[in-house]
Amino acid sequence: MTRPKAAPSRLDPLSYESLRQQILRRDGWRCQSCGTMSKLEVHHREFRSHSGADSEENLITLCAACHAKVHRR
> pLDDT tens digit string along 46-58?
988 888 899 999 9
Q: Is residue 68 part of a domain?
A: yes
> Quick one: pLDDT at residue 32?
98
- Closest to 42 in 3D by CA, of 50, 51, 25: 25
Cβ atoms of residues 72 and 42 within 8 Å: no
- Closest to 38 in 3D by CA, of 66, 5, 60: 66
Q: How many folded domains does the chain comprise?
A: 1
Q: Is residue 64 part of a domain?
A: yes
Q: Is residue 41 part of a domain?
A: yes
Taking phi over 0 as left and psi of -120 to 50 as alpha, with beta for the rest, 45 belongs to alpha
- pTM over 0.95? The answer is no
Residue 3 confidence (pLDDT) above 70? no
Range of the domain at 61: 31-73
Per-residue pLDDT tens over the stretch 6-55: 555 688 999 999 999 999 999 999 999 999 999 999 999 998 888 889 99
